[in-house]
Structure 1
Amino acid sequence: MTTSKSPTVWRLSGIQRALLIYVVVPILVIVGVGIGVGLDRINVQEQERLKEDLELLGRAIRVPVGEALASNDDAAVQRALDSVFEIGRIYGASVFDVNGNRIAVAGIAERDLSRSRVAQQLVMTGEQQERVRQISGVRMFSHFIPVFDDLRQANGFIQINRQASDFDSTFARLSAWAWGIWVAMAVLTLTIVIFGHYRGVGRYVNVLTQSMHRVEAGERDYRAPEDGPGELADIAHGLNSMLDSMQRSEMELEAHRRHEQAMQRKLQYQEKMAAIGGVASGVAHELGAPLTIIDGRARRLLKNSNDAESERQLNAIRGQVGRLTRIVQQLLNYCRPAAEQETIITPVAITKLMPEVIENVRHEQPENSPELTVSLAPVPEDVELIADEARLELALVNLVRNAAQVAKTHVELRTEVIEKQVQEGADECSHWLQIDVLDDGPGLAQGITTAELVTPFFTTKGQGEGTGLGLAIVDNVVREHRGSLVIENRTDIAGGCRVRIQLPLQLVNKE
């Protein structure tokens, strides 16, 4: 499983960058433009206000200055100029006659305006004038106001000076405050957007992304938490639903694949059986009649023979003929499909069938053969074994016969009803009949598996002692009844072998 570091709040995601570029930045630009326009307007208004202040001051002293000029009272003119410093923030003021000659001065002022175009325009038009001028090395804003006599004739003018930086400093302070607030608001807005997006949206998007990465890494059972805003919760729900659907599809595909494999194996098995069956049928047909003739003539010769050696040889011949006959019959039993045989599928009386199997084998055994016993467990009344009793008896007889051939003293046929979990794809059946055939012989050689033992013509007996078809027939019968076969060494005693068959039981139909 791959893990990723938890994203920090300040690591910008794609959505956060989009918000900043397409939302926050345009808003800040618009606000900045608004601040710039507003500051420019405020600057104009502030300059107008400062100019109006100078104009008001000029108008306030224009009348007394005019009267003083008319009466040639220079002292009165000086007093009027001095009063300007008491009224407002003025750096200098002066009174000039119509020719531009200075009559009185207070503070920083120009000495002579006789050659100034401003003075000429002021006297000629009688209108106020404004100029930014260098006075004594200082950049000043000068306001010129004409002074009239009683006949409304210009008899001089007043120059009031204020430092030009006063206009700029006021605007600079205002601009600094405005842009400082804008920067603070920009930082605050960015912080709110980034942190707010992370808390409200980003962390849930990160969880969804991590969930997708975990699923991609192989955690197919992992599901995303359906938390967060409604839209993101819907996305998480949709993702989980999609993963559930994909998982169901994968399970269906896997079940279909297993079914196809089982059908393929079944088809291959049937094809193999058909091929072997064809060979076995031909062999049985070709050998049946000659073997019958050989056995019949050997029997007639045996009746007419009085020689012990001849009788021994004839009995040997008949024994080998009987062995060949049994091999042919085993081939037919193994290779003939169940569907081609006369089968009768009926409820099987287990308590009756098992003792019959023991008796059938016991009649074949010579004296001093191993003891054969049967141990039956009760079967619940609500279940029963539905099977082809003849085929099942054939399989059990083969198992008990094989066990009796290798056992030392005892062979036991044991039954038990167990419960097994229903496997996917199998018929619904929880009760199974477990049949064990136990012997106390030498057991299986190390490394031999059930698959090898049920392979046709594979045998652990010596040459001439076995055909290798007995267990193959048993496996064939068990498969026909949808059961399982396991052959293994016993663990409860030293040596010995256990053959275990499990067959499904069905519920009793009470209708």
Structure 2
Amino acid sequence: MTKKSAVLRLSGIQRALLIYVVVPILVIVGVGIGFGLERINVQEQERLKEDLELLGRAIRVPVGEALAANDEEAVQRALDSVFEIGRIYGASVFDVNGNRIAVAGIAERDLSRSRVAQELVMTGEQQERVRQISGVRMFSHFIPVFDDLRQANGFIQINRQASDFDTAFARLSAWAWGIWMAMALLTFTIVIFGHYRGVGRYVNQLTESMHRVEAGERNYRASENGPSELAAIAHGLNRMLDSMQKNEAALEAHRLHEQEMQRKLQYQEKMAAIGGVASGVAHELGAPLTIIDGRARRLQKNNQDAESERQLTAIRGQVGRLTRIVQQLLNYCRPPAEQETLTSSVAIEKLLPEILDNISHEQPENGPRLSASVSPLSRGLQLIADEARLELALVNLVRNAAQVAEQHVEVRAQVACAQEEPMAEDKLNESKTNEDKKQPPCSQWLHIEVLDDGPGLPAGTSTESLVTPFYTTKGQGEGTGLGLAIVDNVVREHRGILIIENRIDGTQGCRVSMQLPLAVVNEE
């Protein structure tokens, strides 16, 4: 809707103002004008009659003297003087019998048989009549004329056109009702446009604001301008929307918290169930597996046959695999460590070589080469962590990498800012220089990367799928699918991030990154 159409289209408030305020006022004013015109009409007629009466009185004495002296010329001169005054259409003098003696203008010829003449002579009082004279509707004023003895010796008739009274009143009425119509139109215009400028446009803004909020624009706020009452309404609406938005945000946060608590509860229930099963399996299989391994080892010592030796070695290998599976189940189902209990300091510079040394004893002589590198910023770093759990996670990662690598497995440890890629070696010195300049330190994370030169991950494989329990990319009987799940649990316990992806540095292989937040900086 355009601004022009909004002005021309009457709103509910404008219609109410016109119906209940403007129209009653105009009706009252119209009734007052009608009553006033009626009073003016009566007063005007009385005034015109008084004018005729004054004229009649003015010539009654000279006419009476002329009649007494039988001087018709003097009577005629008196009549002519009245007629010359103006607005008089006729005047005449009659004797007591109604016979006309003198005339000026439009007048009746004979009143001898007129009842008004008889009443006038008998009563001696003035008379007024509306009569047809020469086809014209006239207002006649009759004035008796007396002699010296106060005896009526004739009367005077002064005529004026009756329409003069109506014409004056019609002209006055036309002006009065014309002014009323103009005032009515002006009032309507002022009310409509004045209401729109003073109130209507701000009401329209409020209405538009409500429609936009209803349509989903929850961040939209009404303009707080216009009259103080409407500005207060807009302010109240905005405060209500702010309160609703705040409550919705609180409800959303509460809902997300409940979802997180529900997820944790489900996870703990799942871990408890798996832990119960794993504990039962470990209890029931631990002793038989130990017995089987012991007797197979005894048979190996007593039997020198090559085929028997091979079979017994295979049996012991499968027993060892079963033992590792049971241990991995127990490790996976171990209750997670709370962040508040992570109080021990772990020296990363010493931990990585120990892990590589332990893994190297498991590797064949032609296995891949294992190496570790620690960036300058990571040397001497004391990480607050659960050392046993962190070592378990790193052992799983290095063991997995060694199983698929062709020639080399590398473990890197370096410090980087939060939500940033690990800093390359050529940027470490620059970072150290910035620290020397006492620039504000960023939130730092420890990035531990395990890189291999194996075949890499199959296309479409994601970190989420790889950390799912019992999911494995290895062949049948080669993996349990619990190693990376255990690593993911340990990283989550330390509020870190686990990323598993193919290498993007142009080298074949896989890159596994553990990103752990640092609470302690380098010690001197």
- TM-score calculated relative to the size of structure 1: 0.91
1:132, 1:141 within 8 Å by CA — same for their partners in 2? yes
Tell me the equivalent position of 1:419.
Answer: 418
**Which residue, 278, 295, 318 being the options, matches 2:293?**
295
Partner letter of residue 8 of structure 2? W
Q: Distance in 1 between matches of 2:27 and 2:448?
A: 88
Q: Distance in 2 between matches of 1:178 and 1:387?
A: 100
Deviations 1:400-427 (A, max 9, x none): 2112222233333233332249xxxxxx
Q: Distance in 2 between matches of 1:496 and 1:284?
A: 35
- 1:447 to partner: Cα distance: 1.9
Q: 1:198 to 1:407 in 2, by over 3 A?
A: same
Q: 1:348 to 1:160 in 2, by over 3 A?
A: farther
Deviations 1:156-183 (A, max 9, x none): 2211111111111111111111221222
Tell me the equivalent position of 2:487.
Answer: 474
Q: 1:162 to 1:318 in 2, by over 3 A?
A: same
Tell me the equivalent position of 1:93.
Answer: 91
Partner letter of residue 228 of structure 1? G
Deviations 1:368-427 (A, max 9, x none): 33333333345599x974322211221121112112222233333233332249xxxxxx
Tell me the equivalent position of 1:424.
Answer: none
Tell me the equivalent position of 1:439.
Answer: 452
SS state at 2:344 partner? strand
Tell me the equivalent position of 2:424.
Answer: none
SS state at 2:468 partner? coil
**Which residue, 458, 468, 477 being the options, matches 1:455?**
468
Q: Distance in 2 between matches of 1:136 and 1:313?
A: 158
Tell me the equivalent position of 2:60.
Answer: 62
Q: 1:346 to 1:123 in 2, by over 3 A?
A: farther
Number of residue-to-residue matches in the alignment: 496
**Which residue, 337, 350, 353 being the options, matches 1:352?**
350
- 1:186 to partner: Cα distance: 1.8
Q: 1:394 to 1:135 in 2, by over 3 A?
A: same
The more displaced of 260-269 and 458-467 is 260-269
- 1:252 to partner: Cα distance: 0.9
Is it true that 1:497 corresponds to 2:510 in the alignment? yes
Q: Give me the identity figure in percent.
A: 82
Deviations 1:70-98 (A, max 9, x none): 22222222221111121131111112222
- 1:329 to partner: Cα distance: 0.4
The more displaced of 61-70 and 429-438 is 429-438
1:345, 1:389 within 8 Å by CA — same for their partners in 2? no
Partner letter of residue 23 of structure 2? V
Paired residues for 1:69-148 under 5 Å = 69-148=67-146
Q: Distance in 2 between matches of 1:26 and 1:318?
A: 110
Tell me the equivalent position of 2:224.
Answer: 226
Partner letter of residue 487 of structure 1? I
CA-based RMSD: 2.4
SS state at 1:8 partner? helix
1:377, 1:417 within 8 Å by CA — same for their partners in 2? no
Paired residues for 1:323-334 under 5 Å = 323-334=321-332
1:347, 1:386 within 8 Å by CA — same for their partners in 2? yes
Partner letter of residue 29 of structure 1? V
Q: 1:89 to 1:352 in 2, by over 3 A?
A: same
Q: Distance in 2 between matches of 1:178 and 1:369?
A: 118
Partner letter of residue 244 of structure 1? D
1:91, 1:161 within 8 Å by CA — same for their partners in 2? yes
Q: Distance in 1 between matches of 2:452 and 2:43?
A: 118
1:39, 1:175 within 8 Å by CA — same for their partners in 2? yes
Partner letter of residue 444 of structure 1? L
SS state at 2:157 partner? strand
Q: Distance in 1 between matches of 2:144 and 2:377?
A: 134
Tell me the equivalent position of 1:425.
Answer: none
2:375, 2:415 within 8 Å by CA — same for their partners in 1? yes
Q: Distance in 2 between matches of 1:124 and 1:354?
A: 151
- 1:344 to partner: Cα distance: 5.7
Q: Distance in 2 between matches of 1:440 and 1:388?
A: 30
